[in-house]
Structure 1
Amino acid sequence: MNSAESITTTPHHAPVQPIGSAGEALAHESAVLHVTGSASYIDDLPELRRTLHAAIGLATAAHARVQSINLDAVRAAPGVVAVLTADDIPGLNDFGPVVHDDPIFATSEVQFHGQALFAVLAEDMHAARAAARLAQVEYEALPAVLSVDDALEAGTRVLPDVSLRQGEVDGALAKAAHRLSGTVRHGGQDHFYLETHIAYAIPQEDNTMKVYASSQHPGEVQLQVAHALGVDAKDVVVECRRMGGGFGGKESQPGQIAAIAAIGALRTGRPVKLRLDRDDDMILTGKRHDFRIDWEAGFDDDGRLAAVRFRQSTRAGYSADLTGAIADRAMFHADNAYYLPAVAIDSHRCKTHTVSNTAFRGFGGPQGMFGIEEVIDNIARHLGRDPLEIRKLNYYGVDERNTTHYGQRIEDNVLAPMTTELEASCQYASRRAAIRQWNASSPVIKRGIALTPVKFGISFTATHLNQAGALLHVYTDGTVMLNHGGTEMGQGLFTKVAQVVARELQIDIDRIRVTASDTARVPNASATAASSGADLNGKAAQDAARKIKARLTEFAAAKFGCREDQVEFLPNRIRAGNTELSFAELAHAAWMGRVSLSATGYYRTPRIAYDRHTLSGRPFYYYAYGAACSEVAIDTLTGESRVLRTDILHDVGHSLNPAIDLGQVEGGFIQGMGWLTMEELWWDDKGRLRTHAPSTYKIPAVSDLPPVFNVRLWERGINSEDSIFRSKAVGEPPFMLALSVWHAIKDAIAAAGDYRLTPQLNAPATPEEILRSLDALRAHLASEAAAA
């Protein structure tokens, strides 16, 4: 494989820094543990004596009344100690993160195939899972709504419809020189984290509970468990050292798993572990929201948009979960990188009798961008122009055409120079010409190329979530213990935040230990989501470090008889006037001088405010930008596709850790490629998910990596806002760069019709979908030929 990564040492740092300071390309803090199998996950924790194992009994109807449920055989099964139903919940039978419409256990009515009905507690995991299959349940079938189209026809919603209007859309469409319309669909996506959902609940003294949960949001799990147990938040402690992947799937979903384990632990007085196997995890937990997008666009002879209308309809599933915020963000990102003079967006949050969809990397952003990129591509093909020309023509401007449809001004627009740089470095123009020439002489294998941008807003759109806390202890030997509200799921957050502290205190990173996320140490933390982990927790940790640094500065100045501005923190040393000593020596001296070496830190994102009722304001602190160019080949006989080359240029500002950021760009792109090309969720007409294992649900493998994969961090990147060391978030934005693959596939399909027609393609672009698109194109050409 010919791939390249570009790491450039950021020039803004001081010439000499301690080992592992912010800005250094440092390995993940658990890298050695990961590759040696020594990293401890929840299932690796030593099980306490008398630990019980839980398994969930799942419903076998999509929508039905439960006429009777006989659990006698379950209770009598070998090894079974107890069976839990809704009647055993002492508190609230709900784990909904926003709306209370998500029961822990279904009662009289089942709302999706695979919904939890009961749980079995047994002496071992295998006994629990075997017993869970012995339940005898009788259902009275009710009408089931399974798809977005069904829900639109039936009028079923989990939340009210939302509409956004900016400008005179009808008038602009009527006056436009050209008008196009269409419908495009994309599927959902399973998170397919390596570690499935798991929780380990351990009863404590005085009716309190300790829960280990694989969760991106321990604070929310704490509240959900407390509500289920009927106790206060102070009576529940939730801890998570690391997750084996999350991608949004462990934001709202872990509450149910943790609550069941805790209810079982309270009922029996014994520790309870609940770990889902892969099939149950995929059946029981939410996915990325799939969308149907109906659109209409008006534009001039050059291809510049005059107005666009979207109807975004998403399958929410049976409950609201996080659909409101996800559908809102899809509306925000309906522009991607393009100025929309007039826009109308109607958002339908459809209720279906399928598992409730949930957060997934991008959180509605990819869905919104998918729609506008379809519009831009169709305009280009209608006019016979290069889609990249139409993209650049419609980019947001710098001094004008620079306000979004929700009223936020684009203040740091770098799209044009980034695109120009990537266009030149990947030789887009010459390769596009060569591909067209190659296609003319290749009747079966067709190639395509596309270059697409991304502009992604960074912040929680729920303003109150943009806050974070941290706890920092300096010990008398000069070592540091750091705790913050973020969670580690492999993305390198703990490493980056430790690097922030290393830079502030000017100590080597191996002097810092980051401890498990713990609701008893940092309370009320927001989820590690929305690409905000380093922004929020890095700033909170910086605040705590600066407090301690200020105390040490004041102490050193007084002790060594100099002014505070004469106290200088050097790598692992302190210079106070004419005196120089190690950081450890200063820490010990400060302790002897009764100086507090512990501090809490806090941060709240400034300059953001959004009015949910008027759909306007400044929901995002800043934007992250990127661009990708992908080249693909398709086999027009089999529908198979292959990515031949991808070039990426991504803006992370002043990178906190270029090695980790490159990994996030690469991984995000490949995961997005999976969503758009191969990851297909399929429910049958009875509402059963039939793709619930690696045998039927395909994610990208090593062999799917582009043979030529050039990824660079933009050297000119800088955050105009006062983020942590002027860095930018990197978790979600690169995901959308995979749209370049999908549009390259469309370009290859268009080649089969000599570029005279616009292909109709939905995502994922599986071989079957590509063949369907090719068949439709050929049928249209045949019809034209017959008419001639």
Structure 2
Amino acid sequence: MNQAIPKQVLAGAEAFAHYSDNQALRIDTNTEAQALQQGRRVGISRTHESAALHVAGEAAYIDDMPELAGTLHCALGLAPIAHGRLLGLDLDAVRAMPDVVAVLTAADIPGVNDCGSIIHDDPILCDGEIRYLGQPLFAVLARTRQAARRAAALAKKIASVEAAEPVLTPQQAHARGQYVVPPMKLTRETQAGATTQAIESAPHRLQGQWEVGGQEQFYLEGQISYAIPKEGQAMHVYCSTQHPSEMQHLVAHALGVHAHDVHVECRRMGGGFGGKESQSALFACVAAVAARRLGRPVKLRLDRDDDFMITGRRHCFWYEYDIGFDDAGRIVGAEVTMVSRAGHSADLSAPVMTRALCHFDNAYWLPNVRMQGFMGKTNTQSNTAFRGFGGPQGAIVMENIMDSIARQLGKDPLDVRRANFYGKTEHNVTPYGQVVDDNIIDELVTQLEARSDYRARRAEAAAFNAQSPVLKRGIALTPVKFGISFNVKHFNQAGALVHVYNDGSILVNHGGTEMGQGLNTKVAQVVAHELGVAFERVRVTATDTTKVANTSATAASTGTDLNGKAAQDAARQIRERLAASMAARHGGAAEAVRFANDTVQVNGKTLAFEEVVKEAYLERVQLWSDGFYATPGLSWDSKTMHGRPFFYFAYGAAVSEVLVDTLTGESKLLRADVLHDVGQSLNPAVDIGQVEGAFVQGMGWLTMEELVWHPKTGALMTHAPSTYKIPTANDCPPVLNVQLFEGANPHDTIHRSKAVGEPPLLLPFSVFFAIRDAVAACGAPGNCPPLRAPATAEAVLNAIENVQQGV
């Protein structure tokens, strides 16, 4: 290429020699500039396809769309109590408010009053039973958004209710046997009863209870839907959602029409993190029902406080465990009970618990294990997907166990962790029966241990603590093994459309949604690479249910794995048609035609890509194609909780060093070193950004993001940025070293890459356990700090007090 290559394109990981899917992946030492010149478009760092638009403020979100004439604005009237009955509503008072056009209740929904993701137990608008404080009772339609909000605020005054005692915590629900779905069990034993026997006969035993808090997604763009009625009962819904197909189906059910009558579109989201996988449905349904009822466009954009009060978030978990282990700290038997706060409806609580149980092992082999999972039904918002989808809640209790075992034995926690690592040829089967056939955890941790100077820094921290009575340092290294795939088999599929226009430009549509994670950038790179053209030739359009049908949610870290493969399949078909056409016209074999650097080499001739496309068009060659991909080799028996739910595993590890002020409980992350496995990275710059973002988000979950409900009324007290703290730039450590582990995915993923969305959220476990390490330095050797998560200043002070008192 003659054009200058931007510096940001040159930065990043090494590039790789060109290879076809029928050849073994070869890695060489070419720079990214050389890779570009050789025609490679994957494995290099590209800026996000919308980065310039974001910076310039030109990236359009739903609320930026010009509103059609006659657009009405919707706001929701919310329940003033957490549990009870709705006896009546004085809606005349609401209708009398200025600029109010209409008020809708559950009786105005023409179809099914339900937006449940899996189980039909989640009403769109209250139908009699009040389930949580903040539940939508009615919808106000007004000429302005402020008028709608003012009228909806009358809910407290005009709702006649009969209150009942709410159940607010998972422990309360568990004590009552009150669950959203039946409990789950996952057991793997060498023989019947082996777990109990192993625990009771083990040289050492650890028993305890623990809890981990939930987490608000806090997407920058709140929930929003804009519904536009069309002819013949059709409805066009612009929705900020991770799952357009599910929105299509639920809106169709609410309207009492067929799926083909509903068109859902999403160009981009201002963040999702799981909070827009299922919970965008209520707002899409309300907007669509109102638009159909009134025959006018309706926009429903939530206020941030209402978003907090209505929507769910990451499940908090409460645990009981009983562990048997030997003198080296190796676990010989483990029993664990996990109880989550599901909220008032099932939502995605069952698959979240499934993934939690399947990640209890994290990176460790457990010869005998017995797990139970309970999803407590509470009078709180219905909790839902959040980055990691139960995996973090399942793995962190194991890390707490490992840390406690080490402290009980007086060993370095890293040594205990390493003693329990999965093996490569033995001790390599998970509790649910999947063979860990791609294990790299030991070599990855060994690399990070050396690069971070873990041992020397641990000794330095101990020396510092010995002479510092107030400030204490702590350090921890924690590993990650994270399974990649939806744990529901049929979700592991994707489709794509690729259009090549006769000027050589390319348009791509796929079933994934862009929420800032760079999915469209990677898919465009894949298509550009497959057709041998510049990245700038490829444009990815909005996710649209009228183009790719029956799509899966962009979740479970599968966005690029699924949609990248589908887009590659479509582009390959076009390339093969072009090759056959050129070979027939210019001679030679179709297999010998080469596409690279916007040119096509055929029988000794070099033609411009657009020239080839024009020739093919004149010859009536199909220049568009659909593509499809289904993840192979998956199996899962939900009754026995055994099978192969994951296509592969992603690995990582992090070392964190913290400083704790024992007088205030304040903690500060001084340095973090991360080594993470993304296989053969499609875009190192995007992947490193994802790792950094996940690390800070996970650190927020475990150190400062605390959710508080009023213990009597059930009101969410932390319902705004003023009361709910998320990490800021000031909370990032002054030293954050993030590196990608070198190595291709042994499984046939898109260009041998690995998912990067969810796994790195588990890396900041190291921050929490570094804080625990610092707290332990306040007491006698061998103490086990009772530190809860999140490790807020209050939690740290409480743990320090217990340690100093020898509790």
User: How is 1:431-510 mapped onto 2 (pairs within 5 angstroms)?
Assistant: 431-510=457-536
Q: Is the 8 A contact 1:396 1:413 kept in 2?
A: yes
2:414 is aligned to 388
1:785 is aligned to none
Shift of 1:10: 3.4
2:188 is aligned to 166
In the alignment, structure 1 residue 38 sits paired with structure 2 residue 38: no
User: How is 1:510-525 mapped onto 2 (pairs within 5 angstroms)?
Assistant: 510-525=536-551
Q: Is the 8 A contact 1:465 1:526 kept in 2?
A: yes
1:52 is aligned to 72
Identical residues among aligned pairs (%): 55
Q: What CA deviation, in whole Å up to 9, does each residue of 1:42-99 have, x standing for no partner?
A: 0000000010000000001000111221111111100000101001000000000100
Say how many residue pairs are matched: 776
Q: What CA deviation, in whole Å up to 9, does each residue of 1:499-555 have, x standing for no partner?
A: 000100010011011000000000000000000000000000000000001100110
Q: Structure 2 CA distance, aligned partners of 1:631 and 1:403?
A: 33
Q: What CA deviation, in whole Å up to 9, does each residue of 1:588-608 have, x standing for no partner?
A: 100000000010000000011
TM-score (normalizing by structure 2) = 0.95
Q: Structure 1 CA distance, aligned partners of 2:596 and 2:54?
A: 32
The partner residue of 1:85 within 105, 108, 125 is 105
* Amino acid paired to 2:120: H
The partner residue of 2:726 within 690, 699, 705 is 699
Q: Is the 8 A contact 2:484 2:558 kept in 1?
A: yes
Q: Structure 2 CA distance, aligned partners of 1:571 and 1:10?
A: 16
1:103 is aligned to 123
Q: What CA deviation, in whole Å up to 9, does each residue of 1:295-351 have, x standing for no partner?
A: 110001111110111000000000000000000000000000000000000111110
Shift of 1:566: 2.6
User: How is 1:324-335 mapped onto 2 (pairs within 5 angstroms)?
Assistant: 324-335=350-361
In the alignment, structure 1 residue 345 sits paired with structure 2 residue 367: no
Shift of 1:13: 4.2
Q: Which moved more, 1:490-499 or 1:61-70?
A: 61-70
Q: Structure 1 CA distance, aligned partners of 2:548 and 2:36?
A: 29
Q: Is the 8 A contact 1:13 1:23 kept in 2?
A: no
Q: What CA deviation, in whole Å up to 9, does each residue of 1:151-185 have, x standing for no partner?
A: 11211100001111111101111210101111110
1:7 is aligned to 12
Structure 2 unmatched runs, 5+: 1-9, 20-33
In the alignment, structure 1 residue 711 sits paired with structure 2 residue 733: no
1:786 is aligned to none
TM-score (normalizing by structure 1) = 0.98
1:28 is aligned to 48
In the alignment, structure 1 residue 622 sits paired with structure 2 residue 648: yes
Secondary structure in structure 2 of the residue aligned to 1:113? coil
1:301 is aligned to 327
1:239 is aligned to 265
2:635 is aligned to 609
Q: Which moved more, 1:150-159 or 1:752-761?
A: 752-761
User: How is 1:729-740 mapped onto 2 (pairs within 5 angstroms)?
Assistant: 729-740=755-766
The partner residue of 1:148 within 161, 170, 176 is 170
Q: Structure 2 CA distance, aligned partners of 1:20 and 1:670?
A: 32
Shift of 1:256: 0.6
1:556 is aligned to 582
Q: Is the 8 A contact 1:6 1:711 kept in 2?
A: no
Q: Is the 8 A contact 1:17 1:506 kept in 2?
A: no
Q: Is the 8 A contact 2:11 2:45 kept in 1?
A: no
Q: What CA deviation, in whole Å up to 9, does each residue of 1:581-637 have, x standing for no partner?
A: 111000010000000001000000001111111111100000000000000011101
Q: Is the 8 A contact 1:6 1:713 kept in 2?
A: no
Secondary structure in structure 1 of the residue aligned to 2:806? helix
User: How is 1:228-267 mapped onto 2 (pairs within 5 angstroms)?
Assistant: 228-267=254-293
Q: Structure 2 CA distance, aligned partners of 1:160 and 1:212?
A: 36
* Amino acid paired to 1:709: L
In the alignment, structure 1 residue 282 sits paired with structure 2 residue 308: yes
Q: Structure 1 CA distance, aligned partners of 2:11 and 2:404?
A: 34
Q: Structure 2 CA distance, aligned partners of 1:207 and 1:70?
A: 31
Secondary structure in structure 2 of the residue aligned to 1:140? strand
Q: Structure 2 CA distance, aligned partners of 1:586 and 1:7?
A: 33
* Higher RCO (CA 8 Å, separation ≥ 6 residues): 1
* Amino acid paired to 2:649: Y
* CA distance 1:377–1:6, change in 2 (3 Å): farther
Q: Structure 1 CA distance, aligned partners of 2:475 and 2:575?
A: 53
Q: Structure 1 CA distance, aligned partners of 2:214 and 2:796?
A: 18
1:355 is aligned to 381
Shift of 1:569: 1.2
* Amino acid paired to 2:258: D
Shift of 1:288: 0.1
Q: Which moved more, 1:559-568 or 1:39-48?
A: 559-568
2:137 is aligned to 117
Secondary structure in structure 2 of the residue aligned to 1:780? coil
* CA distance 1:755–1:707, change in 2 (3 Å): farther
Q: Structure 1 CA distance, aligned partners of 2:584 and 2:16?
A: 35
Q: Structure 2 CA distance, aligned partners of 1:569 and 1:517?
A: 28
1:655 is aligned to 681
Shift of 1:17: 3.7
Q: Structure 1 CA distance, aligned partners of 2:773 and 2:558?
A: 35
In the alignment, structure 1 residue 195 sits paired with structure 2 residue 221: yes
In the alignment, structure 1 residue 269 sits paired with structure 2 residue 295: yes
Shift of 1:147: 0.4
Secondary structure in structure 1 of the residue aligned to 2:794? helix
2:400 is aligned to 374
* Amino acid paired to 2:402: I
In the alignment, structure 1 residue 157 sits paired with structure 2 residue 179: yes
Q: Structure 1 CA distance, aligned partners of 2:253 and 2:513?
A: 22
Q: Structure 2 CA distance, aligned partners of 1:678 and 1:121?
A: 38
Q: Is the 8 A contact 2:495 2:626 kept in 1?
A: yes
Please give the root-mean-square deviation of Cα atoms over the aligned residues, in Å: 1.1
1:683 is aligned to 709
Q: Structure 1 CA distance, aligned partners of 2:691 and 2:289?
A: 40
In the alignment, structure 1 residue 137 sits paired with structure 2 residue 163: no
Q: Is the 8 A contact 2:532 2:595 kept in 1?
A: yes
* Amino acid paired to 2:462: R
Q: Structure 2 CA distance, aligned partners of 1:217 and 1:398?
A: 37
Q: Structure 2 CA distance, aligned partners of 1:13 and 1:702?
A: 39
Q: Structure 1 CA distance, aligned partners of 2:492 and 2:11?
A: 32
Shift of 1:562: 1.4
Q: Is the 8 A contact 1:632 1:645 kept in 2?
A: yes
Secondary structure in structure 2 of the residue aligned to 1:630? strand
2:231 is aligned to 205
Shift of 1:20: 7.5
Q: Is the 8 A contact 2:13 2:44 kept in 1?
A: no
User: How is 1:551-590 mapped onto 2 (pairs within 5 angstroms)?
Assistant: 551-590=577-616
Shift of 1:142: 1.3
Shift of 1:570: 2.2
Q: Structure 1 CA distance, aligned partners of 2:696 and 2:606?
A: 50
User: How is 1:416-427 mapped onto 2 (pairs within 5 angstroms)?
Assistant: 416-427=442-453
The partner residue of 1:225 within 251, 262, 273 is 251
Q: Is the 8 A contact 2:12 2:44 kept in 1?
A: no
